[in-house]
A and B are shown apart, each in its own frame.
Chain A
Amino acid sequence: MLSSIQEAKTKHAERLLELPGVVSVGIGLDPGGRPAILVGLDGPRPETCASLPDSLEGYPLCTQVTGPVEALASGD
């Protein structure tokens, strides 16, 4: 049985976050407007990108360079 995209994301999020440079895993839309698992990176990470599949449980997986995510108090 196909899992929902939420289930697919939950199942793989921890593992994805252990890859070098991965800062976030969420659910959004791919460039074609289809529901996708979106992986945020702290910078260009060719090796991490090469190790990622194009899809997970049948859902597209897309990477995007977001930069490091920081708490936003001033000067922090």
Chain B
Amino acid sequence: MPDSIQCARDVLAGARAELQDRAHVVATGVGLTPGAGGDSSVPCIVCSVAEKLSRAELASRDRVPSMLDGVRVEVVQTGPIRALAARTDRQRPAPGGVSIGHHDISAGTLGCLVRKDGVLFILSNNHVLAASNAAELGDPILQPGPLDGGRLPEDRIASLTDFVPISFLGAPAGGSLVRGGAQLLNRCLGRLGSDLRLRLVREPPSTSLVDAALARPLDDSLVSDEILEIGSVIDIASGELGMEIQKSGRTTGLTRGRIEQVDVTVDVQYGGGRVARFTDQLMAGRMSQGGDSGSAMLDAHARLVGLLFAGSESTTVINRVEHVFTGLGLEI
């Protein structure tokens, strides 16, 4: 066997330049092909091609011979071979799973593409594309996100189109004026010597269902339907307890897990002391870190289940896709 491998290497060394010159050939090497008995392997020359065509479709000079100096030649279709770009690099077209962000934030993840009235949009989180409610519609979206070197104007990929506002706890929703009014009135009552005091009936805190936003690519050719290491979204599905799920994110790449809790009410910290309470969330174990926000969460069959937006040292929190689509006016 070592002798026959050396023989194949010697033959390839002599023929490599000529083989690589043929159309569609992207790589050449020495490999093993199953022997006649099926159990033994025979050294051969492997020609990797971008696209495998029948001999009839090829010009004679582009045909790969089946034998070279007594060594068998196998043709394998690998597709074009590209340098593997990092998820934090600039990528055009940009697939799901790479860095993205509003120009005022750090970086999150481009979730996936969705269509609204036939028009293509990037789906990610409000806190990734709309700076947690602070952005204006039309603001530039950068790929990669600013933390990963995205700069205006050259890395602009899209414009913020829509977002579902997040309700932060303690944020005035008309409540502060009422509270202020009551305090003023109580001070007056106190000066008048009255024991009467107004007590505000406590309202339940306003809650949120999703942390979601849409951005319109400057051109459809700048984005790709694929999600890195997963492929295209084929459908949507409702998340259920025990369901196997997967995501492709800027920081931790492809990770898999399981839905461990449903109907979750959770208080999420947004930095600067801001907290928002979310209801009807899905919770999985640890399958994310900072920068994975906005990742599309899919089941094992590449059906969209939700949008990853938060987590802790041992959990990952996911908006349900039903609420994301309803909130953004997308058709299910």
Contact = CB atoms under 8 A, between A and B. Distances in A.
Interface of A: 6, 9-10, 13-14, 17, 23-29, 38, 40, 64-76
Given A66-B314, A69-B310, 19 more contacts: A6-B263, A10-B263, A17-B267, A24-B265, A24-B267, A25-B265, A25-B266, A28-B262, A68-B269, A70-B268, A70-B269, A71-B125, A71-B127, A71-B271, A71-B293, A72-B108, A72-B309, A75-B290, A76-B271
A10 B266 CA distance: 12
Given A69-B310, A71-B211, A76 B127 contact: yes
Interface stretch (B10-18, B60-68, B99-107, B220-228): B99-107
Contacts of A73: 101, 105-108, 125, 127-128, 290-291, 293
Contacts of B309: 71-72
Nearest to A9: B263
B145 interface: yes
Most chain B beta carbons < 10 A, residue from A13, A38, A72? A72
A23 B269 CA distance: 10
Contacts of A23: 266-267, 312
B313 interface: yes
B241 A69 contact: no
B145 A74 contact: yes
A13 B265 contact: yes
A43 B105 CA distance: 28
B290 A74 contact: yes
Given A25-B264, A27-B262, A71 B291 contact: no
Contact of B261 (A26, A65, A72): A26
B91 interface: no
Given A40-B266, A72-B288, A27 B312 contact: no
Interface string B295-332: 00000000000001111111101000000000000000
B263 A26 contact: yes
A69 B263 contact: no
Given A72-B288, A73-B128, A73-B291, A26 B264 contact: yes
B289 interface: yes
Interface residues of B, number: 46
B72 interface: no
B310 A71 contact: yes
B251 interface: yes
13 contacts: A14-B204, A14-B265, A24-B261, A26-B263, A26-B266, A27-B261, A38-B261, A69-B267, A71-B271, A72-B291, A73-B290, A74-B107, A74-B147
A29 B285 CA distance: 13
B320 to A, nearest CB: 13
Given A28-B241, A76-B290, A70 B263 contact: no
B288 A28 contact: no
Contacts of B139: none
B145 A24 contact: no
B260 interface: yes
A51 B267 CA distance: 20
Contacts of B145: 74
Contacts of B204: 14
A72 B292 contact: yes
